[in-house]
């Protein structure tokens, strides 16, 4: 297992309660990034295979920030490839 880390910023919405990376094809949560918006850990674990898939085809995934007002998603963002 490897780590997926995120720093997620938001404004003009109620306090977030969760954040995830979702698969675009069916909306399934593939990485839980809730700690990135609730003050917890900014890293989650994921398999090498999943991380490779996300890195190779980021357009097949998106990040969604959820809050109580909009539990299905208050903010949604596309993923872009970032290599270090």
Its pTM stands at 0.87
Count CB atoms within 10 A of the CB of residue 54.
19
Angle subtended at Cα 41 by Cα 6 and Cα 81, rounded to the nearest 5 degrees: 15
Report domain extents, the chain.
Answer: 2-78
Q: What are the tens digits of pLDDT across the range 34-62? A: 999 998 888 999 999 999 999 999 999 99
């Amino acid at each position: 297992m490897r780590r997926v880390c995120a720093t997620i910023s938001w404004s003009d919405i109620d306090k977030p309660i969760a954040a995830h990376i979702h698969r675009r094809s069916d909306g399934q949560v593939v990485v839980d990034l809730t700690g990135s918006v609730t003050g917890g850990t900014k890293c989650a674990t994921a398999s090498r295979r999943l991380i490779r898939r996300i890195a190779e085809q980021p357009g097949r995934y998106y990040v969604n920030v959820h809050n109580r007002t909009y539990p299905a998603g208050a903010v949604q963002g596309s993923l872009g490839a970032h290599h270090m």
